[in-house]
Amino acid sequence: MAPPPSDVKLLGYRPSPFVNRVQFALNLKSVDYEFIPENVMAKSELLLKSNPVYKKIPVLIHGDKPICESLVIVQYIDETWSDGPSILPSHPYDRSTARFWAAYIDDKWYPALRSLADATEESSKAAILEKILEGVILLEDAFVKCSNGNGFFGGDKLGYLDLVLGCYLGWLKVSEVNSDVKILDETKTPALVGWAERFKSHEAVKGTLPEADELLQLLRNMQAAANVEASK
């Protein structure tokens, strides 16, 4: 039984992939929600009260109950709006596989991707890039196994892993542009390349996932602001 949709709030920040993945989940379940943008440099009282442990977005507030940590939130959404399309697989073994890859993506792969931007020396940059590329080969293999001939990690519809990896696609493109490198490659990861296009054009994703151009502009603005501060 779906609860009334109007009492769902999402504290977030549009460029954050962790916020985006929660939005995809809400969109998949057709849940109306109020997006409350947070200024990550000046956190609101509501955020500090709702997430006292980490003080971070995203926070989903359902009624007056806050739920924190994006993967916890996605599972909450899946279990609460149970009459919508399911996000996690139903079989326990498939669920454990989805959780395994989600942990790999969030704890190993994405931190490597992020660290590429901060790498200054060519040798460390090369080492990080090797890790990222090894990772996408693993993810290509995982995709082939999970999709079972269909278009998404979730099979013929978007599932948990699609949201977990898909939310990073904007920033992945930014990394490719900034480091002048191809991470998803038609020759090495053809299945993921196809998946990425399908994911980005899905109705639950389009309009919510920021385009790489928007993120690049954001980075340039942040860099310009930092330069102004530094020269004061």
Partner 1 sequence: MAGVDKVVLLDFKVSMFGMRCRVALAEKGIQYEYREEDLRNKSPLLLEMNPIHKKIPVLIHNGKPVCESAIIVQYIDEVWHDKNPFLPSDPYQRAQARFWVDLIDKKAYDAGRRVWTKKGEEQEKAKKEFLELYKTLEGELGDKPYFGGEKFGLVDVALIPFYCWFYAYETCGNFKMEAECSKLVAWGKRCMERESVAKSLVDPKEVYEFVLHMKKVFGIE
Binding site for partner 1 (CB under 8 A): 53, 62, 65, 67-69, 71-73, 75-76, 79-80, 92-93, 95-96, 99-100, 103-104, 138
Q: Report the nearest approach of partner 1 to the CB of residue 228 (Å).
A: 35
Q: In whole angstroms, how far apart are CA 187 and each of 25, 132, 182, 191, 192?
A: 31, 16, 11, 10, 11
Nearest to 199 by CA among 164, 146, 144, 162: 162
Closest CA to 97 of 137, 142, 158, 135: 142
Q: In the complex, what is the shortest distance from the CB of residue 170 to partner 1, in angstroms, rounded to a whole number?
A: 25
* Burial (CB count within 10 angstroms: exposed 0-12, middle 13-18, buried 19+), residue 63: exposed
Please state, in angstroms and rounded to a whole number, the distance separating the CA atoms of residues 114 and 109.
9
Closest to partner 1 by CB, 71 vs 133, is: 71
Q: Which is nearer to partner 1, 138 or 177 (CB)?
A: 138
* Torsion sign, CA atoms 124, 127, 130, 132: negative
State the minimum distance, in angstroms, from the CB of residue 71 to partner 1.
8
CB of 177 to partner 1, least distance (A): 29
Q: Which is nearer to partner 1, 29 or 202 (CB)?
A: 29
For the bound state, the minimum distance from the C-beta of residue 96 to partner 1, rounded and expressed in Å, comes to 4
Q: For residues 135 and 210, which CB has a smaller minimum distance to partner 1 in the complex?
A: 135
Contacts of 183 (CB under 8 A, 6+ apart): 113, 132, 133, 136, 172, 175, 176
Residue 3 or 190: the one with the smaller Cβ distance to partner 1 is: 3
- Residue 9, SS3 per DSSP: strand
